[in-house]
């Protein structure tokens, strides 16, 4: 009887509001200490969270093509030694050595051109002095200039082919100085990364342009996630993503602008750090998009007893000096005991703000005209 008597002012309040329909976002409910105690209401500072994992989606790990570099034989030759069969490598590290007659011929051609270039240069300088002094005809001067230019261009092109074949600046300088032909081609790692098993053995002959292996940079990797168009429209580049199995965090790098006619899905690419190499290209994974992160909008986690639906709108209640103020929210996640919600409109989310954590069902009739 005592508790019933205490509830009478509350019921009177509900009856007084019963003649008017209040939208949840436009009314403040006056509550005094006696009413709060009678209804067993409780307010507390909610747990603020910046991101909420959504439903799980299937994705496939893929290595972007730009992260792969092929190891290709620049000239024909015979494999002399294999320095690295597979595993991590650094840029410029020697992977294997070829012995190549083709390289020796390129070196010989370059040295022969250099042997012609030096006297041609001296002849050109002499012809230019004589031409300026009026002692040489224009025709002979142009002939000397042309020969020097042609030989210079030829030497440059031949030098470029030697660089392409794997010779370093130091090796070229030594070759020009010593004129000692060396047909050893050192194939080096084109980038930092992981070397796939080398597809060759010592003694095997390889052709120019033959692919021998590939170096993959797996420091970061992509996950391709096909989702329905309705889901894709709610995503943004930079939004957080988490791997369901590992808890590893990443972010959305790209969202497709078309729907696959076969699957009726939109492709979403998420980028993940993979410095430890634990994500393997081709494997299937489960991922969750983190709601509330991309736009910087916060969310609250509170007991399920603090949430009700008012005229079909999920609503929580904020403590005010006079009572409680209803706040329309979007439900991001829920279970039997707790819910994660985010306000649907702009809200001054000040530190110390308290939300109703128990007894929301008693405030619902006050907003719906006392009909329960």
Rounded CA separation 340/293 (Å): 14
Residues 249 and 202 in one domain: no
In a domain, 70, yes or no: no
Residue 280 is assigned to a structural domain of this protein: yes
Report DSSP state, residue 294. Answer: T
Percent of the chain with pLDDT over 70: 88
- Residues 292-326: pLDDT tens digits? 543 445 688 899 999 999 888 999 999 999 999 99
> Same domain, yes or no, for 81 and 161?
yes
Q: Are residues 287 and 302 in the same domain?
A: no
173 and 198 inside one domain? yes
| Distance of alpha carbon 189 from alpha carbon 14, whole angstroms | 78
86 and 171 share a domain? Answer: yes
Q: Which of 195, 216, 237 is the last residue of a domain?
A: 216
Instruction: Tell me: do 124 and 190 sit in the same domain.
Output: yes
Tokens 């985010």: give the residue. Answer: 342
Q: Is there a contact between 317 and 306 (Cβ–Cβ < 8 Å)? A: yes
Could you give the percent of the chain with pLDDT greater than 90?
Answer: 53
Secondary structure (3-state) at 318:
strand
Domain count, the chain: 3
Q: How far apart are CA 329 and CA 319, in angstroms?
A: 16
Calculated CA dihedral for residues 208, 210, 216, 221, nearest 10 degrees: 120
Distance (Å, rounded) from C-alpha 241 to C-alpha 126? 72
Does residue 69 belong to any structural domain of this protein? no
Same domain, yes or no, for 39 and 122? no
Inside any domain, residue 18: yes
Tell me the residue range of the domain where 176 lies. Answer: 75-216
Regarding whether 183 and 86 lie in a shared domain, the answer is yes
The answer, yes or no, to whether residue 22 has pLDDT greater than 50, is no
Among 216, 237, 267, residue at a domain's last position? 216
**Position 370 pLDDT exceeds 60:** no
Question: What does the pLDDT read at residue 66?
Answer: 82
Indicate yes or no: pTM above 0.75. no
Sequence-distant (6+) residues with CB within 8 A of 343 are 297, 327, 328, 329, 330, 349
Q: How much is the pLDDT for 276?
A: 84
79 within some domain: yes
Please list, in sequence order, all residues whose beta carbon lies within 8 angstroms of the beta carbon of residue 7, skipping any fewer than 6 positions away: 38, 39
Residue 35 scores a pLDDT above 70: yes
> Same structural domain for residues 210 and 80?
yes
Phi, psi of 205 (to 5 degrees): -90, 135
- The residues, any chain, with a CB within 8 Å of residue 372's CB and separated by 6 or more, are 364, 365
Do 92 and 155 lie in one domain? The reply is yes
Q: Flag whether 86 is in a domain.
A: yes
Question: Are 160 and 110 in a shared domain?
Answer: yes
Q: What is the CATH number of the domain that holds 331?
A: 2.40.420.20
Q: 168 with 85, same domain? A: yes
Domain end marker among 233, 259, 291: 291
Neighbours of 267 (CB within 10 A): 18
Rounded to an integer, what is the distance from CA 275 to the centroid of its chain? Answer: 13
CATH of the domain at 233: 2.40.30.170
Give the containing element (helix H, strand E) for 166: none
The answer to whether residue 68 is domain-embedded is: no
Distance, CA of 187 to CA of 167 (rounded, Å): 9
User: Is there a contact between 50 and 299 (Cβ–Cβ < 8 Å)?
Assistant: yes
178 falls within a domain: yes
- Collect all residues with Cβ–Cβ distance below 8 Å to 319 and sequence separation of at least 6: 43, 353, 354, 355, 356
Whole-number mean pLDDT of the chain? Answer: 85
């Amino acid at each position: 009887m005592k508790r019933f008597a205490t509830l009478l002012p509350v019921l009177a309040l509900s009856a007084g509001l019963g003649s008017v329909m209040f939208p949840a976002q436009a009314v403040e409910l006056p509550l005094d200490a006696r009413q709060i105690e009678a209804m067993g209401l409780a307010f507390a500072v909610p747990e603020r969270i910046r991101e909420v994992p959504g439903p799980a989606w299937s994705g496939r790990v893929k290595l972007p093509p730009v992260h792969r570099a092929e190891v290709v034989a620049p000239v024909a030759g015979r494999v002399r030694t294999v320095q690295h069969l597979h595993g991590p490598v650094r840029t410029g590290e020697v992977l294997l050595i070829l012995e190549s007659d083709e390289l020796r011929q390129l070196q010989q051609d370059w040295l022969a051109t250099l042997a012609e270039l030096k006297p041609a240069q001296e002849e050109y300088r002499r012809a230019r002095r004589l031409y300026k002094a009026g002692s040489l005809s224009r025709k002979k001067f142009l002939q000397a200039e042309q020969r020097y230019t042609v030989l210079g261009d030829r030497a440059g092109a031949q030098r470029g082919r030697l660089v392409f074949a794997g010779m370093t600046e130091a090796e070229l300088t030594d070759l020009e100085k010593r004129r000692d032909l060396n047909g050893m081609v050192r194939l080096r790692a084109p980038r930092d990364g992981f070397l796939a098993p080398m597809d060759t053995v010592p003694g095997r002959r390889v052709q120019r342009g033959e692919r021998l292996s590939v170096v993959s940079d797996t420091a970061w990797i992509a996950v391709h996630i096909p989702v329905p168009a309705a889901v894709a429209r709610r995503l943004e580049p930079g939004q957080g993503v988490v791997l369901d199995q590992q808890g590893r965090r990443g972010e959305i790098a790209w969202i497709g602008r078309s729907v696959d006619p076969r699957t009726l899905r939109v492709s979403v690419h998420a980028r993940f750090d993979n410095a430890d190499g634990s994500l393997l290209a081709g494997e299937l994974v489960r991922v969750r998009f983190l709601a509330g992160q991309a736009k910087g909008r916060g969310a609250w986690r509170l007991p399920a007893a603090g949430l009700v639906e008012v005229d079909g709108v999920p609503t929580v209640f904020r403590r005010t000096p006079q009572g409680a103020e209803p706040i329309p929210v979007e439900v991001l996640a829920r279970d039997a005991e707790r819910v994660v919600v985010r306000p649907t409109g702009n809200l001054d989310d000040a530190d110390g703000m308290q939300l109703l954590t128990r007894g929301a069902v008693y405030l619902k009739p006050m907003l719906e005209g006392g009909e329960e």
